[in-house]
Amino acid sequence: MPKRDPVPNRLFWNARLRMDLSRPEVADAANREPALATCTHGALNENTIGRIEQGRIGGGMCPERLAALCAVLGVKDAADIGLIAERRRPTRSAPTQRRKSAVSVDDFGMTADVPTAYAAPCETPTESYSVAGPVGFMGSPSEITPPLSREAIHRSHPAIALDRPASSYVPFRPAALDAPAQQWLRGDSRPARTGLRGTLSIGFGDVDQAARRLQNLRDLDHGLGAGAVHSQVADFIDVPVRRLIYGWHDGEAVRSEVYRIAVGARELAGYQAVDSGADGVAQRHYLHALSLTMESDNRTFGAYLLGVSLGHLALHCGYPSHGLRMAQIGRSGLPAEAPEVLHACLWAVIARCYARLGDALSCSTALRTGERHLARGEGSERPEWIGYFTPAYLSDEVAHCMFDLGSHRTAQHEVKQAVAGVGAGRVRRLAIDTALFASSLAAAGSVDEACSRGREAVDLAARTTSARAVQRVAQLRADLIPFEDTACVIDLIDYIRTTLPAAL
């Protein structure tokens, strides 16, 4: 008889979402509670919180942990979050020891996820990036209006996630990143697929045709968003890519190109899953692509998948220190021949994660380092999968950093640079950046201009099938809550309701 999966603890899960906390944030906040000062079972971590939500921990928890979790989640009785002190089944009485891995957080000088509200004050960075906010503004934007949870967006607006029902949401699992990252950093190789070879011979003509098709799909995705293209990408992986992988390769050079296309297709599928709000599906695609780079010994693309693709995904899902760790591991394993633009891209992700963690000085340092790498690589040849990363895209990353740190004047300057350089065909990027610009204006008190820019963002998002664009407009709507009684905000909400109802 197959083993039944544990029943999820929806009481705990709902309480966490109601407080708008990620799993690491619940653990960190609980560890700061006085009740845990005398606990002999050690600190809580996100894995513990995950096991609680999966129903694997329900009884036998010590009173100190119960009290701390109740305080953090705003309940009086542990039963309200599906926990009881009485044991219902044998559990370990000794504290669970964290498994020591070859790559640990300490190896990269990082700490666990720290919610912005608990982040320690930082020195003001020098040189080009200032994080001085407007007069009277204290703290980062997320302390005033927390960013909307991607899970919450999916539950509220299931239609924006490839028409999947909200109950089908597959969550991002940060704990699943460490083992593949360690294997990649160690240089573990995987045997090439040889067991199911077909009789079709694959040559450079087949590879060139597939490469052109993949680039065409990338261009369509940038312009229209995932909703319009995802079925074509799935068909491309199921038929042409599978045929390339399992055919007879006419030499090692052909094999290398075949794997490059297969990795690129999986990376694009992962990005489209992100753009559809399917974070867990995106994680699976990225990890599949990473395994293909290990089969083909493509360290450069592997570093990109770890540090940029998975790093950004972890950041967007509310796990900035996991994103930081992936980017740092990607940098550590870069081959000597890696292009300068990849160095710049990794440093941009590092900066984004530091900004979300509230570390302004480290963020500024990372941004300046990324700028230097991008300048050094100007005019040099770059892989097609990172060809998008131009000075305009770096400005986009800077704008997001400055917004997270509360430096709205700098954020607005950088987002203008980004919009000017991205190009009219990148509608999704224009929608996201314009909505970010509007949110920054609202946080700085320029409500009328924020609403004007907000209308532009709504129009752009309505031209795409991108859940990320819709989510960013929804975030703008949340950022305008303090001003929702003003006439311009009322008009904007009415406009969103008629033009982009999924954002309400």
pLDDT of residue 331 exceeding 50: yes
- Lowest average pLDDT, out of 128-142, 414-428, 476-490, goes to 128-142
224-228, 423-427, 491-495 — most confident range: 491-495
pLDDT of residue 44 exceeding 50: yes
- Extract the tokens encoding 108: 């990269």
Give the span between the Cα atoms of 236 and 212, in whole angstroms. Answer: 12
167-180 burial code (b ≥16 CB/10 A, e <16): eebebbebeebbeb
Task: Identify the pLDDT of residue 58.
Answer: 64
Of residues 273 and 158, which shows the higher confidence score? 273
pLDDT of residue 150 exceeding 50: no
- Could you report the per-residue pLDDT of 334-364, keeping only the tens digit for each? 999 999 999 999 999 999 999 999 999 999 9
Give the span between the Cα atoms of 368 and 385, in whole angstroms. Answer: 23
| pLDDT band with cut points at 50, 70 and 90 for residue 211 | very high
CB 405 within 8 A of CB 420: no
43-65 burial code (b ≥16 CB/10 A, e <16): ebbbbbbbebbeeebbebbbebb
pLDDT of residue 255 exceeding 60: yes
Strand partners, 249: 202
By CB atoms closer than 10 A (0-12, 13-18, 19+), residue 128 is exposed
Query: What spatial distance separates the first Cα and last Cα of the chain, rounded to whole Å?
Result: 46
> Closest by alpha carbon to 457, among 482, 480, 474, 479?
474
Instruction: Write the DSSP string, 441-503.
Output: HHHTT-HHHHHHHHHHHHHHHHTS--HHHHHHHHHHHHHTGGGTTSHHHHHHHHHHHHH-GGG
| pLDDT band with cut points at 50, 70 and 90 for residue 170 | confident
Tell me which H or E stretch contains 202. strand 201-202
- Extract the tokens encoding 82: 């599906």
Strand partners, 202: 249
Please tell me what DSSP assigns to residue 229. Answer: T
Task: Identify the pLDDT of residue 85.
Answer: 61
- Extract the tokens encoding 292: 């293909």
69-83, 144-158, 449-463 — most confident range: 449-463
Average pLDDT across the chain, whole number? 81
Tell me which H or E stretch contains 249. strand 248-249
Give the span between the Cα atoms of 254 and 137, in whole angstroms. Answer: 58
pLDDT of residue 285 exceeding 80: yes
> Closest by alpha carbon to 256, among 214, 295, 210, 200?
295
Distances (CA, A) of 461 to 205, 254, 290, 488, 496: 38, 40, 31, 20, 10
Give the span between the Cα atoms of 451 and 489, in whole angstroms. Answer: 6
> Closest by alpha carbon to 468, among 224, 260, 208?
224
- Could you report the per-residue pLDDT of 433-471, keeping only the tens digit for each? 999 999 999 999 999 999 999 999 999 999 999 999 999
- Could you report the per-residue pLDDT of 2-20, keeping only the tens digit for each? 444 444 788 888 788 777 6
Task: Identify the pLDDT of residue 190.
Answer: 64
CA angle 216, 474, 271 (to 5 degrees): 30
CB 242 within 8 A of CB 258: no
User: What totals of helices (H) and strands (E) does the chain contain, helices first?
Assistant: 23, 2
Percent of the chain exceeding pLDDT 70 equals 79
Task: Identify the pLDDT of residue 28.
Answer: 81
Of residues 480 and 121, which shows the higher confidence score? 480
| pLDDT band with cut points at 50, 70 and 90 for residue 290 | very high
CB 265 within 8 A of CB 229: no
Tell me which H or E stretch contains 376. helix 360-376
Task: Identify the pLDDT of residue 115.
Answer: 32
- Could you report the per-residue pLDDT of 299-325, keeping only the tens digit for each? 999 999 999 999 999 999 999 999 999
Of residues 244 and 41, which shows the higher confidence score? 244
Domains of the chain, with CATH numbers? 10-90 (1.10.260.40), 136-169+390-504 (1.25.40)
- Extract the tokens encoding 266: 């999986």
pLDDT of residue 90 exceeding 70: no
Please report how the helices 204-224 and 252-275 are oriented relative to each other, as an axis angle in degrees rounded to 10.
20
Task: Identify the pLDDT of residue 192.
Answer: 59
By CB atoms closer than 10 A (0-12, 13-18, 19+), residue 95 is exposed
> Closest by alpha carbon to 342, among 291, 296, 380?
380
> Closest by alpha carbon to 470, among 495, 442, 496, 438?
496
Rg of the chain, C-alpha, whole Å: 23
Percent of the chain exceeding pLDDT 90 equals 55
Of residues 368 and 96, which shows the higher confidence score? 368
Task: Identify the pLDDT of residue 184.
Answer: 96
Tell me which H or E stretch contains 346. helix 340-357
- Extract the tokens encoding 248: 């007879």
Residue with tokens 């309940």: 75
